[in-house]
Amino acid sequence: MTLDVEKIRSDFPILNRKIGEAPLVYLDNAATSQKPCQVIEALTDYYSRYNANVHRGVHTMSVEATEAFEAARTKVAKFIGAPNPESVIWTRNISEAINLVAYSWGDANLSAGDEIVATVMEHHSDIVPWQQLALRTGAELKLIPRTEGGRLDMEAASSMISPRTKIVAAVHMSSVLGTINDVKALGKLAHDNGALILVDAAQSAPHMPVNVEDLDCDFLGFSAHKMLGPTGIGVLYGKRELLEAMPPWMFGGDMILTVSYEDASWNDLPYKFEAGTPNIADAIATGAAVDYLSELGMENVRAHEVDLTAYALECFAELEQVKIMGPLDNADRGGIISFTHDTLHPHDLGTALDRMGIAIRTGHHCAMPLVRSYDVVAAARASFYIYNTPSEVDALIAGIKETERYFLK
């Protein structure tokens, strides 16, 4: 099924706004996505009709809130193919999800002489927690290199993942290069060596089908705000037997089973990892975002972005002074195009495009080591989603050409 993009766009009120006199062209979806009316209404509905705490009351509104909160967890579990909702932990974002694993599982299972293997493509959220875990435990952090073409060096990966490896952490889709990594193959390498794998699905879960059982990943995380949901909430999936064995890393209300003045015992999954009043409204709204994407069909979401990215890559080829970071073809690539200009600084380009109503990202994209490996300190980035159109790609290309004429005349 081809997405009806005009119908989709009508669900996003923010797309009607202007920046100055120019209509908004929003191409910063890798940073955060826009929200449809259905998600906004889910938030409003909770706060206006049944705002109450969950798991703590027998009154009508508490029961309604609890049912909606847990229904959203079930929707997320189905969305990623998790075998049960108890394996889905609500977090603030994927950063918290990764830190949860690094502290809870990592501190309990790593020691001097062990190895953590990540990739050079990781977002800061999936490299700094492992750096700190290595410092705390004496383990060694190793990084799988990239090829000149912007893909992961799988030959190097097969030699680096060894019986000393305890966990492999890998981004599914690079937020800089758009590269879709073969995390299933990395997982097999990890498992063949007795290690676990954690998958950063922040950029993949919103844009393509993701099934944790097919990937056979041990942990997987993502943030709702990149997939039409609200900010401030994310998900950690973990295999149940691993989560059962892991100690809690935060303590407080609802994560306890019993408490005395001397000691405490812990609640069942998933609540063992959800201390205190949770982000109820945003969890419910995340369920609405999952409903929206599920109705579209993630295969259709992916197909739309494949076509749009292919068109964009063709258009970028017209720009003689622009260099694309990452794969230049559309195979195993997401809708993210980071680029540099021979003459224009990315921040100048981003500012000029903003005055035309075109929103892109500039900087190191929270992947400073990766961007600097291209011998630049910053890059511009355009990233696409379900509501973007070929005419918006045309506007971006025309905007870059107009900026060249202004600065280089």
Residue ranges of domains in the chain, CATH in brackets: 5-30+297-408 (3.90.1150.10), 40-295 (3.40.640.10)
Catalytic residue among 37, 217, 315, 366: 366
For residue 281, what are the contacts with CB-CB under 8 A and spacing of at least 6? 43, 46, 47, 51, 230
37 as an active site residue: the answer is: no
Segments of the chain with pLDDT less than 70: 409
**Tokens 């292919």 identify what position?**
310
Instruction: Tell me the C-alpha distance between 285 and 228, whole Å.
Output: 9
pLDDT at position 1 is: 75
Question: What is the rounded (10 degree) CA torsion for 250, 200, 205, 346?
Answer: 110
SS (H, E, C) the chain: CCCCHHHHHCCCHHHHCEECCEECEECECCCCCCCCHHHHHHHHHHHHHCCCCCCCCCCHHHHHHHHHHHHHHHHHHHHCCCCCHHHEEEECCHHHHHHHHHHHHHHHHCCCCCEEEEECCCCHHHCHHHHHHHHHHCCEEEEECECCCCCECHHHHHHHCCCCEEEEEEECECCCCCEECCHHHHHHHHHHCCCEEEEECCCCCCCCCCCHHHHCCCEEEEEHHHCCCCCCCEEEEECHHHHHHCCCCCCCCCCEEEECCCCEEECCCCHHHCCCCCCHHHHHHHHHHHHHHHHHCHHHHHHHHHHHHHHHHHHHCCCCCEEEECCCCCCCECCEEEEEECCCCHHHHHHHHHCCCEECEEECCCCHHHHHCCCCCCEEEEECCCCCCHHHHHHHHHHHHHHHHHHHC
pLDDT at position 57 is: 86
Instruction: Tell me the C-alpha distance between 322 and 337, whole Å.
Output: 11
pLDDT at position 54 is: 96
**Other Cβ atoms within 10 Å of 143 Cβ, number:** 17
Instruction: Tell me the C-alpha distance between 271 and 251, whole Å.
Output: 11
